[in-house]
Amino acid sequence: MKVGIVGASGYSGEVLVKLLLGHPQVQLAAVTSRTHAGKSLASVMPAVRGIDQDLKFIDSDPAALAAGDIDLFFLALPHGAAAIYAKALVTAGKRVIDLSADFRITSLETYQKYYGEHHAPELLPAARFVIPEITPTTWKTEAKLIASPGCYPTSVLVPLVPLLAAGVVAREHIVVNSLSGVSGAGKKIEEAYLYCERAESAKAYGLVKHRHLAEIEEQLAQRTGAPTIIQFNPHLAPMRRGIATTITVPAVAGATVESLYAAWRSAYAQSPFVQILASGETPDTAYVTGTNRVDISAVYDPRTKNFVITSALDNLVKGASGQAVQIMNLWSGFPETTGLI
């Protein structure tokens, strides 16, 4: 199967390139970049020297891509730009996996509140938000356009959805604190992201209306059957990649850490990319970097009657490109782990 990447020169695009070049079931047939059009892939990404298949970057022309023979496209573009390409590609019958936020939110009103104008609102009803571990499998036959989730939402939804669905935790007073590596901001030349500014520095940002909050709360409502409001506090941490999330949530009457773990084991018994750690063994970003895993763990605090849940993932792999490849595998009938282990 031929695949292409639109916007392949960013951080998530580079991870996608590496994963797809090594994938035994697909041929990476096109990589696009307006900045690097005409340059060889290896000259822009020296890490793929020798395995780059002599690929060159081409211009990001939606009409030309739609007219070609590539079966499936990944959109590794900023929100806003992705919708323009999705419109051309989906109309031409191509399958599309979008790594931006353009199709993660089903409500146009909510999207506009957090992101502004939407450039292809007519595609929203056809798009499917997919975290493979928690999304019902009907998306495999229904969709032509997949919204691959954000890194923060994946770190929150994977541990929390089964617990809310099983009635183990309360819906009120949920507080989420998340730390992200600097690569989560994408490749940009801004003073705030220079090494001297970020090294030895950690700070909260995006309070109290981070864009991923809309995605998280909409999915919590859809996947657990009732509206759920959370306090979401993102932080920028002095590391290149990784997401570390701590969720503090009240336990329902009678719930124990054993019942919490039972809900997780039931939900993720067949999920190769969810690792459930023992209570008290907190996940570490150092051990998920470069993997498509999300590690989760929980403890119970008898003093506050809260569960304290922790998760960790690589924001560029399970939080972006690896999850997109996982989705492609399932969508195309390949083994879920192909090219990811």
Measure CA of the first residue to CA of the last residue in the chain; give whole Å.
Answer: 20
Q: Long-range pairs for 297-305 at CB < 8 Å and ≥24 separation?
A: 298/159, 298/257, 298/260, 298/261, 299/257, 300/251, 300/256, 300/257, 300/260, 305/250, 305/251
CA distance 312 to 322: 15
Q: Is 196 a catalytic residue?
A: no
**Residue linked to tokens 């994408």:** 186
CA distance 144 to 96: 6
Among candidate residues 20, 151, 239, 330, the one labeled active-site is 151
- Kind of pairing between the strands at 2-6 and 27-32: parallel
CB 320 within 8 A of CB 151: yes
CA–centroid distance for 308 within its chain: 23
CA–centroid distance for 134 within its chain: 13
Count the alpha carbons within 13 Å of 204 in the hemisphere toward its beta carbon.
8
| Phi, psi (degrees; rounded to nearest 5) at 332 | -100, 0
CB 104 within 8 A of CB 36: no
User: Catalytic site residues?
Assistant: 151
